[in-house]
């Protein structure tokens, strides 16, 4: 695990950053279509409903018409449900090249409806220092063994580079679809279905011989 101090220099988790060299590679950031956007919850957003708009197709990442900005302080918290189970392999962010850019992210898997008090006392599944990026060119890889099967993701941005509020234009998630909840239920139902061989010894014998 990386050093999660508050310094913003080199080393620590920042050393895990890899550059996205070609815009075409952005097609990997396709999990926005798997987000259940009607159920996304964003805490401390200054304008209600703006937070969910930062999850959009990668080709629209540079459109800064809509953005989310924190309200009373620099903290932002996203509760993100998916329409099925997904494997998440990386994340990228776009903001302004100034002190409003988030400086740190704490990520939680499958813990629904988290509040600020919840995240403050919980150990994240991954935590990283961030660098300013206004084009989505920095890729932050996630720990594959922890995010291989996810149905809910919580992103907590506890701080920025010094501004009173935090502003984000785009959050991209890369990975792949695993299966839908309906497919999962079908599989579980099939596995739980009793098979004839399991009960052949419990079926009563219907042919009886009687001696008079």
Instruction: Please give the domain boundaries of the chain with CATH numbers for all domains.
Output: 12-195 (2.60.120.470)
φ and ψ at residue 186, rounded to 5 degrees? -65, -40
Q: Mean pLDDT throughout 73-93?
A: 97
Residue entry with tokens 């060119």? 137
Query: Beta strands of the chain (E only): which ranges?
Result: 18-19, 41-43, 68-69, 76-94, 104-109, 126-129, 138-141, 150-157, 167-168, 170-180
Give the global pTM: 0.77
Task: Kindly report, residue by residue over 98-114, the tens digit of the pLDDT.
Answer: 999 999 999 999 999 99
* Res 200 pLDDT > 60: no
What is the average pLDDT value for the chain, to the nearest integer?
83
């Amino acid at each position: 695990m990386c050093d999660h101090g508050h310094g913003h220099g080199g080393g620590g988790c920042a050393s895990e950053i890899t550059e996205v060299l070609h815009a075409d590679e952005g097609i990997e950031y396709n999990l926005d279509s798997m987000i259940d956007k009607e159920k996304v919850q964003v805490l401390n957003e200054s304008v209600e409903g703006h937070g969910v708009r930062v999850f959009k197709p990668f080709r629209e990442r540079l459109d800064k018409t809509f953005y989310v900005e924190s309200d009373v302080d620099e903290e932002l918290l996203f509760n993100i449900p998916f329409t099925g189970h997904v494997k998440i392999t990386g994340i990228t962010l776009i903001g302004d090249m100034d002190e409003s850019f988030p400086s740190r992210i704490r990520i939680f898997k499958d813990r629904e409806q988290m509040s600020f008090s919840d995240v403050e006392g919980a150990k994240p599944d991954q935590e990283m220092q961030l660098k300013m990026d206004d084009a989505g060119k920095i890729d932050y890889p996630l720990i594959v063994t922890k995010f291989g099967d996810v149905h809910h993701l919580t992103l907590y941005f506890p701080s920025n580079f010094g501004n009173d509020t935090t502003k984000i234009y785009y959050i991209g998630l890369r990975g792949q679809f695993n299966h839908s909840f309906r497919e999962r239920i079908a599989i579980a139902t099939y596995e739980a279905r009793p098979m004839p061989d399991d009960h052949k010894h419990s079926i009563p014998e219907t042919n009886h011989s009687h001696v008079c």
